[in-house]
Structure 1
Amino acid sequence: MKMTFRLDGATELKEQLDKLRASTAKAALQRAGLKALQPMADLARSLAPEKTGELAQSIAVGAQAKNDEVGRLAYRFVMGGGGTREQAVTAMRQARREEKGRRGAYYVDLYMGPRAGRSRDEVIKGIVQEFGSFRVEPHPYMRPAFEQDKDALMQRLSDEVRAEVAKAISRAAARAARRKT
């Protein structure tokens, strides 16, 4: 799915984020994103089919690290090539560091949808509900939620990022003032 939007204030945001430690900045962005996505998740839950309610209950908002796959591939490559476990672990860590460097200090992965940990059959049922199959008519719930809420999501995200970064800067300033006294 391709989504195009205009982002104003990125330079100012980066200046504000640079006032914080990278971990604090990432945490502020992650909190803002999770808060901004929650209404879209609620909308998706309300649009999900209600046969058993399991699909609606499984829709969640969360954060997850995406660089694990990069590390796993590097590990498998070394092990498949006859390397030792120690070499494979080193390659995995190096691949993850390189991926993190490409993404930048403030990169955050967020997701909204049916959460992981469900059985294979439950996952397939959710996909069939959204897209249909040759036997079942589609009953989309994620795409309509996105389409209905995408503009409001961007406004909420802007507001939440502004608020979370301001709070983080003020907490950091208060900590610095306490250390001086």
Structure 2
Amino acid sequence: MATGTRVQLSGFKELGAQLKRLSTAVARNALQRAGTSAMEPMARLARQLAPKDTEELAESIDVGTVAANDKADVGKYAYHLAKAAGLSNAEAVTEKRNALRAVKGERGNYYADVFMGPVAGREKQDVIKGFVQEFGTLTREPQPYLRPAFEQDKGAMLERLKKEIWFEVSSAIARSEAAKARRAARG
């Protein structure tokens, strides 16, 4: 059984102060770029450690962001629950908006999702096979590849993440301030 992993992180107050200098979208994009860049070497390692009996698994391991649909799913679910409860369309839309606002409030303004692992192409079965390889089943022994990649690279990934966040956020601030200066110069 895998043991818990402890990491100590600091500097979030300072990071938050710098992120406040940016719009929410620009801050989120900077964090997503930093996370994606920092996790790519871990993904390469996971591809190397993936069982070789299925080449598709190694090829399916990717790094990306999941911000596109996770909030939309919350809204859709709230809308469908409201309709199932017999509420009108307008009331269901209100429930959807309230659910989306609650999600944004839980995550704060500067939130970014980044993932690393098998990605579904056209079929979810490919992803399921990847998790079966990692964890096994009652009849199949596990062949872990994600956890070992994480354990081998976690310290280096956190160092890369620190550098990438610094670079992306400071670059975004510089671009934002330059744009403000150009607008002020135009009058």
TM, length-normalised to structure 2 = 0.88
Please state if 1:171 is matched with 2:170. no
Task: Select the residue among 83, 87, 93 that pairs with 2:91.
Answer: 87
Where 1:19 maps in the other structure, the secondary structure is: coil
Task: Select the residue among 7, 10, 14 that pairs with 2:9.
Answer: 7
Please state if 1:105 is matched with 2:109. yes
Mapped partners of 1:123, 1:62: distance in 2: 15
Which runs of 5 or more structure 1 residues have no equivalent in the other structure? none
Deviation of residue 47 (structure 1)?
0.6
Residue identity opposite 2:184 in structure 1: K
Q: Which residue of 2 aligns with 1:32?
A: 34
Please state if 1:46 is matched with 2:48. yes
Deviation of residue 68 (structure 1)?
3.2
Superposed, which structure 2 residues align to 1:17-166 within 5 Å?
17-65=19-67, 66-166=70-170
Residue identity opposite 1:40 in structure 2: M
Aligned residues: 181
Residue identity opposite 1:13 in structure 2: L
Residue identity opposite 1:36 in structure 2: A
Say if 1:102 and 1:2 are closer, same or farther in 2 by CA, change over 3 A.
farther
Cα pair 2:119 2:127 within 8 Å, conserved: no
Mapped partners of 1:123, 1:97: distance in 2: 31
Cα pair 2:63 2:114 within 8 Å, conserved: yes
TM, length-normalised to structure 1 = 0.91
Per-residue CA deviation, residues 115-159 of structure 1 (Å, 9 max, x unaligned), is: 134424323321221112233221111111111111111111111
Which runs of 5 or more structure 2 residues have no equivalent in the other structure? none
Where 1:98 maps in the other structure, the secondary structure is: helix
Where 1:67 maps in the other structure, the secondary structure is: helix
Mapped partners of 1:117, 1:11: distance in 2: 39
